Structure 1
Amino acid sequence: MYRKDLGDKPTAETMGYTGKAVLAHFGHYRPDQIDSALCRAYAAAREKAGISQGSTHTELGHLRSTMMWAEKNRLIDKAPAIERPPKPTPKERFLTKAEVARLIEHASAAHIGLAIHLLFATAGRIGAILDLTWDRVDMERGVINLRLPDARTRKGRAIVPINRGLMAALQTAREAAVTEHVVEYGGTRVASIRKGFEGAVTRAGFTDVTLHTIRHSAAVEMVSSGIPIEQVAQYLGHSNPSITFSTYGRFAPEHLQQAADVLDFVRLKVAR
């Protein structure tokens, strides 16, 4: 019922997968029977099955959201407390601009390389890149609008400038385009580049690189180059710059520098 209420939101599709594992363990219990012991048993079983702690955290989070929705809609009296294992610290893997260029060079097809270029140059998510149509690429003004004309996709998607390197790639792609979508293959829209992307990662000799790594790398590159957090937040489509700062503030060159200078007793000694 919750998935139906979510409609076509991405979470609804994801819960189709996470729900299978959750229902296998919790499905025959009433909500009021779910307690910390049951949640811990689930986490232990998932760990034994080789499932990552992060995946288990997400699965139990979906159960929590479902129970809260059920309480809100008066389907149950009270949502149970869902205990989750701690969310693991995100990996710090990010690519330099040279590594992104290397990844594009090792793409097996032009549309894979273009998608990677778009991911980095716009700092967009893969869904936004594959949704992108030529009517939202304004080459005269040099602007890309990653948003779709609906409330669901406006959040988290930005309108960003086109840099010179991306402009050249887009001009080449536009000349060969046969569909309305920017990323196309064989005359049709591309639904996924995961297989082609993973192939490029392997050929480039990289490890621990995912599609999201490209967006993360773009954010790190901007912040470490001195771009103000407020601008980076807008580029990433974050509604609250504090979210951007909490994630990427440590990459700013001036971050904590003033505090470090206060602790510099060597300069004091030299001055004396």
Structure 2
Amino acid sequence: MASAKAKNGQGSVYQRKDGYWVAQVYIGKDDNGKPKYARKTFKHEEDALHWRDKALVEHRQGVFTVPSTVTFAEWLDIWLTQYVRPHVRPKTWESYEYIIRLHLKPTLGTVKIQALQAAQLQQLLNQRHQSGLSSRTVELIQTTARTALKQAIHEGIVSRNVADYLRLPKKATKEIRVMTVEEMRELLTVADDDRMGTALHLLLGTGMRVGELLALTWADVDFQRGLIRVNKATALVKNVGNTADADQKKTRVIIQPPKTKNGHRSIPITEDLVHHLRRWLLFQRRERLLAGPKYKHRNLVITTKLGHAVSQRNLATKFHRLLAKAGLPMTNLHALRHTYATRLLEIHVHPKVVQELLGHGSIRITLDTYSHVLPELKKQAIGKLEGMMNTRAQWQQPVSQ
């Protein structure tokens, strides 16, 4: 057996009986004080020598990773189970799991994680973008890969994060549908004859997210001060229990606190909306008395006739029916939040105040989302300067003949 051993601390290369070459480097001691070595096998001696020299340099620099046969798919499963699920919201876990199951595993799952290249991930992003996948989903593919590989670095499995070097496709600008004041009135006029009318009044009068609205309780409504306190939201998540049970539903609704501290907020409401809510509360109480024991009292503001919570899907269906009845263009419920924000900006409410009312994480989000309103506001602002600098310099005087 030929060998090419080096001095202590410099690693070694030797040939096995089967003809393969083994490169090894000393990487420290284990918990029992015994020497630990990292080894890798090659067909050719020059490849083994090259790997040994490279490994020694990386070990001195503190970036060396022990050779591993773990595939990208195997690591993603470990990451999801041990690092994601116990520490994030159910909806966040579902997003990561969805991206891994549908996009990362089918294309790159069999690749050894230490052999994964940025070009492979870039090709995946490009293919998904060209297939018509939304830019938001393409971005989530990159985010998922980058976050999983970042943890792999901490575990010493890889030395660099190849997902850091990707280029995302340019985001397509989404047109925001904003209702006019006349459309708002037409919608609410029709909605007032429907028990879901209160939901639309609240969405247009507070800018709350739909999930926040459906979790709203009467304890969150301060009639005296004319305030609504937002401190929770509903979310539809997968049931992760015994799915073999035929009676168990695939999804369930949970109530959770806002994602960020900005989500916790108090929203002032108009006197008109206060009066509307008082009337609605009295109506609910009459329904409760008439229903008797069948009524499910949860103190929710938006309910069915028997007090049950309303799902986002059912509210959206009702909303579309009311739009059709009013003869208005189809849109989604989120348009009511956009409409609320746009009306505030149109009456010159400072964007910082709008940010706080909407619960955005930063004012940049507000300005980027509602940039369509800003050109007209800028024009109005400049118009107010008219006459402020109306002076006449000597050179502007008529020249005498």
Instruction: Choose which of 300, 308, 314 in structure 2 pairs with 1:188.
Output: 308
- Matched with 2:205 is 121
How many residue pairs match? The answer is 265
Structure (1/2) with the larger helix percentage:
1
The separation in 2 between residues aligned to 1:248 and 1:64, in whole angstroms, is: 30
* Residues 1:169 and 1:155: Cα distance change in structure 2 (over 3 Å): same
Q: Once the 2 structures are TM-superposed, how far is the Cα of residue 41 of structure 1 from its aligned partner?
A: 3.7
Aligned residue number for residue 137 of structure 1 = 221
Shift of 1:216: 1.5
- Give, in whole Å, the separation in 2 of the partners of 1:120 and 1:73: 49
Q: Tell me how far apart the structure 2 counterparts of residues 111 and 27 of structure 1 sit (CA, whole Å).
A: 50
CA contact (8 A) 1:93 1:208 kept: no
Find the counterpart in structure 2 of residue 7 from structure 1. Answer: 88
Looking at structure 2, the residues matched to 56 and 88 of structure 1 have their Cα atoms a distance apart, in angstroms, of: 12
* 1:134 positional shift: 0.8
State whether structure 2 residue 181 is matched by structure 1 residue 90.
no
Gaps of 5+ in 2: 1-79, 233-255, 285-296, 387-391
Alpha-carbon displacement from aligned partner over 1:204-240 (angstroms, at most 9, x marks no partner): 4444622222211111110111112222122112353
Greater percentage in strand: 2
Provide, for residues 56-102 of structure 1, a one-character-per-residue CA deviation record: whole Å limited to 9, x for no partner: 33343333344335445666443322442222212132112332333
Aligned counterparts of 2:362 and 2:128: Cα–Cα separation in 1: 37
In structure 1, the residue matched to 2:101 is 20
1:228 matched to 2:350: yes
Aligned equivalents of 1:130, 1:142: Cα separation in 2: 19
Q: Tell me what 1:265 maps to.
A: none
Pick closer, same or farther for the CA change 1:40–1:206 going to 2, 3 Å.
farther
1:63 aligns with 2:118: no
What amino acid maps onto 1:15 in structure 2?
Answer: Y
Structure 1 residues 46 and 179: CA distance shift in structure 2, 3 A = same
Q: Which amino acid aligns with 1:216?
A: H
Identify the residue that residue 162 of structure 1 maps to in structure 2.
269
* Pair 1:40 & 2:123 matched: yes
Distance in 1 of aligned mates of 2:269 and 2:258: 24
Give the SS at the match of 2:334.
helix
CA contact (8 A) 1:201 1:207 kept: yes
What letter is aligned with 1:174? L
* Amino acid corresponding to residue 90 of structure 1 in structure 2: K
Kindly report which structure 2 residues correspond to 1:256-267, keeping only aligned pairs within 5 A, or say none. 257-258=381-382
2:298 maps to amino acid: T
Aligned to 1:251: 373
CA displacement 1:34-67 (0-9 Å, x = unmatched): 424543344424643x433443333433333443
**Relative to structure 1, is the Cα distance of residues 209 and 66 closer, same or farther in structure 2, using a 3 angstrom cutoff?**
farther
Q: Which runs of 5+ in 1 are unaligned?
A: 263-267
Question: Which position in structure 1 is the counterpart of 2:249?
Answer: none
8 Å contact kept, 1:40–1:83: no
Give the Cα–Cα distance (whole angstroms) in 2 for the partners of residues 97 and 236 of structure 1. 20
Residues 1:172 and 2:291 are matched in the alignment: no
- CA displacement at 1:143 relative to structure 2: 0.7
Paired residue secondary structure (1:232):
helix
TM-score, normalising length: structure 1: 0.78
CA distance in 2, matches of 1:194, 1:134: 22
User: Would you say 1:99 and 2:99 are equivalent positions?
Assistant: no
Cα deviation digits, residues 112-141 of structure 1 (max 9, x gap): 332222122111111211111111101122
Equivalent AA in structure 2 for residue 39 of structure 1? Q
| C-alpha distance in structure 1 between counterparts of 2:170 and 2:324, whole Å | 31
RMSD: 3.5
Instruction: In structure 1, give the amino acid aligned to 2:302.
Output: V
SS at match of 1:155: helix
